Amino acid sequence: MRYALSPGALAELARFVQNRPLLAFDIDGTLAPIVSRPWDARVPQTLQEQLSRLAARARVAVLTGRAVADAKGMLGFTPAYLVGNHGAEGVPGGERAAAAFARICSSWLATLADTAEAWRETHGVALEDKVYSLAFHYRHAEDPARARSLILQRVARLDPCPVIIHGKLVVNLLAPGAPHKGDAMMALLAHCGCNRGVYIGDDVTDEDVFRLREPAVLTVRVEHEPGSAADMYVKGQHEVERFVHELNKMVSAPSDNRMASRVSSRAGR
């Protein structure tokens, strides 16, 4: 992985985004700092302002594990696409499949919410209903490793057996056949007609985009991780705002250049 804010990487990025880019972002750990209680997470105001300017110049997408309704309240701008539940919600044309995923998650929830469920006795474990997926959070468990093991043992007995996506102290349950973020990214590129896309994320779920290895998709990871499939990295969430600032300068350049050319042409008449 190359450091995304180095002069060479920025020059490469500038060339890459010159022609109709789709610029896509994860939220937690990327746009918003990770906090102990996920519902307290916020996208910093200055970063929201940068994203708003970017969305006025290019197609911007947000791909998150959160539900769309939850994510919408965190953003101070309206992206061209807002995809939630790791790709199971919000992909254009995927409404019928999403409804089927919701029915499966509802049946799981009815089972797991029973008061006799053993997981409910594990302190620090919480089950989140995101309609199109479920998530077991165990950040506050006294023994996170043991809590994770108990969760995995329990969800393995669900019918149908869920697709499990591990995150930072969270176990995500998706319905069989549900798309992941990589599937969603490719679907959005096809839908918007963009020739290229940039994606930045920080977690295991974002590796589904990083592993695409598509020439038309350039990927950036928040924090260097030797095993990551991302093309580039920034050193931490604190550098994401600078990365967006650089994108703002890059995607505005073509129109600025054309305007300068027209002014120069008129001046020479």
pLDDT tens column, 157-178:
999 999 999 988 999 999 999 9
In the residue annotation, 26 being an active-site residue is answered as yes
| Mean pLDDT score across all residues of the chain | 91
The answer as to whether 267 is a domain residue is no
Separation between Cα atoms, residue 80 and residue 191, nearest integer Å: 11
Grade residue 260 by pLDDT with cuts at 50, 70 and 90.
very low
In a domain, 268, yes or no: no
Is residue 266 pLDDT above 60, yes or no?
A: no
pLDDT at 40: 87
For the cut 60, the answer to whether the pLDDT of residue 97 exceeds it is: yes
**Residue from 58, 100, 99, 48 nearest 81 by CA:** 58
Cβ within 8 Å of residue 239, ≥6 positions away: 5, 222
Which CATH number covers residue 121? Answer: 3.30.70
Q: Please give the full DSSP string across 25-65, using - where no structure is assigned.
A: E-TBTTTB---SSGGG----HHHHHHHHHHHTTSEEEEE-S
Quick check: is 168 in a domain?
Answer: yes
Q: 131 pLDDT exceeds 80?
A: yes
Residue 261 lies in a domain: no
User: Is 263's pLDDT higher than 60?
Assistant: no
Same domain for 127 and 83, yes or no, is: no
Q: Are residues 102 and 163 in the same domain?
A: yes
Diameter of the chain measured on Cα atoms: 84
Interhelix angle 240-267/45-55, nearest 10 degrees: 40
| Shared-domain flag, residues 84 and 183 | yes
Q: Of the candidates 148, 174, 200, which is a domain's last residue?
A: 174
Q: Indicate the residue type of 82.
A: L
Domain boundary among 156, 174, 192: 174
231 and 165 together in one domain: no
- Per-residue model confidence (pLDDT) at position 118: 86
Q: What are the C-alpha distances in Å from 7 to residues 3, 47, 55, 70, 201?
A: 9, 22, 24, 37, 21
Question: Are 223 and 108 in a shared domain?
Answer: no
Report d(CA 12, CA 202) in Å as an integer.
Answer: 21
What's the structural domain count of the chain?
2
Task: Decide which of 123, 142, 174 is a domain's last residue.
Answer: 174
What is the tens place of the pLDDT at every residue in 201-258? 998 899 999 999 899 999 999 999 999 999 999 999 999 999 999 999 999 644 444 4
Contact call for residues 237 and 26 (beta carbons, < 8 A): no
What's the pLDDT at 247? 97
CA 47, 92, 206, 24 torsion: positive or negative? negative
Does the residue 56 lie in any domain?
yes
Q: The domain spanning residue 85 has which CATH number?
A: 3.40.50.1000
Let me know whether 195 and 121 are in one domain.
no
Give CA–CA dist 44/84, Å, rounded: 20
Q: What's this model's pTM, rounded to 2 decimal places?
A: 0.87
* Beta-strand relationship, 21-25 and 2-3: unpaired
Q: Which residue has the tokens 């994108």?
A: 247
**What pLDDT is recorded for position 259?**
36
Tell which wins on pLDDT, 254 or 77. 77
Contact (Cβ atoms closer than 8 angstroms) between residue 17 and residue 193: no
Instruction: Answer yes or no: do 158 and 188 share one domain.
Output: no
**183 and 147 co-located in one domain:** no
CA dist 33 and 41 (Å) reads 7
Q: Which of 47, 139, 177, 40 is nearest to 62 (CA)?
A: 47
Which residue of the set 26, 70, 203, 231 is catalytic?
26
- Find the range with the poorest average confidence among 136-150, 170-184, 211-225, 253-267: 253-267
Indicate if 128 and 170 belong to the same structural domain. yes
Which domain, by its residues, includes 161? 95-174
Place of tokens 């539900």: 67
Task: Report d(CA 102, CA 79) in Å as an integer.
Answer: 24
269 falls within a domain = no
Please indicate, yes or no, whether residues 195 and 154 belong to a single structural domain of this protein: no
Contact at 8 Å (CB) between 27 and 97? Answer: no
Mean pLDDT of 124-148: 94
pLDDT at 267: 38
Residue 61's pLDDT is 98
Across residues 24-38, what is the average pLDDT?
92
**Cβ contacts of 205-211, under 8 Å, gap ≥ 24:** 205/26, 205/65, 205/86, 205/165, 205/167, 205/172, 205/180, 205/181, 206/26, 206/30, 206/181, 206/230, 208/180, 208/181, 208/182, 208/183, 209/24, 209/63, 209/181, 209/182, 209/185, 211/182
Residue 35 belongs to a domain = yes
Nearest to 197 by CA among 179, 180, 182, 175: 182
